[in-house]
Amino acid sequence: MVPDPERPPLAQTVAALIGDVLRALRSERTRVLRLLDNLALDETRAAGAPDLLLKGEVLKTQLASVPRGATQVVLAVPWQVDVSVTIALDPALSAQDNVQRLFKRAKGLQRAQAVVVRRREEAQQRLALYTKALDEWQVLQVRVLAFDAAVAQALPPPERARELLRAAQHWCDTATALGLRKQQAPPSLHPPKAKPRDTLPPGVEAFTSPLGQQVFAGKSAAGNDMLVTRLLRGRDWWFHVRDQTGAHVVLQGKGADPPPLAEWHACAALCGHLSGIAKGERVEVLVCAGKDVRKVKGAPAGSVYARNEKSLRVAVAADVVDAFYARRQQQQWKS
């Protein structure tokens, strides 16, 4: 396999695809670790409930021994020999009110302890899920780097790029399902499109299909980018030669059903011709619905991620290509 200098490393494409979710996942894991640290401190404080109950019971039995306005008192524990406790008091309260204050604080700590245990278990479960997802990302990253290393050395890669991209998308969807806080969704399948204009965007050509539907084609990387981000609709059909750089071709969709197979084959032949395949030769072209094509955030112009694609093996027939050029539109297109 010969490296393509115009194609970015797969690791860069995958990083752009999952970047927002990965950052949110790491941030959420850090937040949960911080929460567990705080819960540990709360649990330590809640462990003081038995001591407060003991002091309350001791004070309750010796109310008459407490001077009015005292800030603390040392009292013997009646049911334990040679054991005494030092009890901090609120000087503004009576001895009886200080007893109630101690019991109230102890009950509050007991309730807090139950809450801390429950929240700690929930946090530990979330931490396990986040850690598992990050471990899975590390495994996937190794696979992606192995692919790039093979390509850089002109060796057959261990896996296909599209399989790794699908694995990255699956990881992204799985991580998103964990309910990450402050997460940003992956790049939208349908970025905001500019209002229709009378002239084609730069780098884009317009044709008419054999059945009269509009067909758009990118003449450069910038044109491919304009085609995907400004003209492609979810119901349209997107074409690209498998495993090589080349033109993006879009067949305007009509309704929910796909067009006849002959329409697909004609557009695939045009895609092959515009991608440098000579007339008369055969080429393998991928086709999928526009809703399944995503512009990869941060990647070079023309780089996209496609899923649910089908493979067409067609001949770049001269008569089919010539017919497209005979029906080529001159700088006009319908919205």
**What's at 47, amino acid-wise?**
A
For 50-79, what is the mean pLDDT? 90
List CB contacts of 287: < 8 A, sequence separation 6 or more.
237, 238, 239, 264, 267, 268, 309, 310, 312
Q: Alpha helix (H) ranges present in the chain?
A: 10-46, 49-61, 95-152, 161-176, 221-226, 261-274, 318-326
Q: Say yes or no to pLDDT of 4 above 60.
A: no
Q: Within 13 Å and on the Cβ side, how many CA atoms surround 237?
A: 29
Whole-number pLDDT of residue 298: 64
Helix (H, G, I), strand (E, B) or coil at 306: strand
What the block records as the tokens of 233 is 């609709």
What CA–CA distances, in Å, run from 200 to 152, 254, 293, 330? 37, 20, 21, 9
Whole-number pLDDT of residue 181: 57
Q: Are 209 and 236 in contact (CB under 8 A)?
A: no
Q: Say yes or no to pLDDT of 332 above 70.
A: no
Q: Say yes or no to pLDDT of 203 above 70.
A: yes
What the block records as the tokens of 4 is 């393509």
What CA–CA distances, in Å, run from 276 to 203, 219, 240, 271? 16, 11, 12, 9
Q: Say yes or no to pLDDT of 132 above 80.
A: yes
For 256-285, what is the mean pLDDT? 91
Q: Which helix (H) or strand (E) holds 283?
A: strand 282-289
Residue 314, burial from CB neighbour count under 10 angstroms (0-12, 13-18, 19+):
buried
List CB contacts of 318: < 8 A, sequence separation 6 or more.
279, 280
For 275-284, what is the mean pLDDT? 92
What distance in Å separates the CA atoms of residue 21 and residue 182, rounded to the nearest whole number? 10
3 falls in which pLDDT band (50, 70, 90)?
very low
Q: What are 29-50's pLDDT values in tens digits?
A: 999 999 999 888 888 888 888 8
Q: Are 311 and 242 in contact (CB under 8 A)?
A: yes
What distance in Å separates the CA atoms of residue 131 and residue 214, rounded to the nearest whole number? 49
Among 145, 250, 143, 182, smallest CA distance to 21 is for 182
Residue 140, burial from CB neighbour count under 10 angstroms (0-12, 13-18, 19+):
middle
For 136-143, what is the mean pLDDT? 93
Q: Say yes or no to pLDDT of 140 above 60.
A: yes
For 3-17, what is the mean pLDDT? 72
Tally the residues of the chain: 335
For 153-171, what is the mean pLDDT? 91
Q: Say yes or no to pLDDT of 191 above 60.
A: no
What distance in Å separates the CA atoms of residue 180 and residue 194, rounded to the nearest whole number? 31
Q: How wide is the angle at C-alpha 31 spanned by C-alphas 145 and 297, nearest 5°?
A: 40
What distance in Å separates the CA atoms of residue 137 and residue 149, rounded to the nearest whole number? 18
Q: How wide is the angle at C-alpha 222 spanned by C-alphas 303 and 234, nearest 5°?
A: 60
Whole-number pLDDT of residue 117: 87
Q: Are 305 and 170 in contact (CB under 8 A)?
A: no
What the block records as the tokens of 41 is 């401190």
Q: Say yes or no to pLDDT of 114 above 90.
A: no
For 186-206, what is the mean pLDDT? 62
Q: Are 227 and 204 in contact (CB under 8 A)?
A: yes
pTM assigned to the model: 0.47
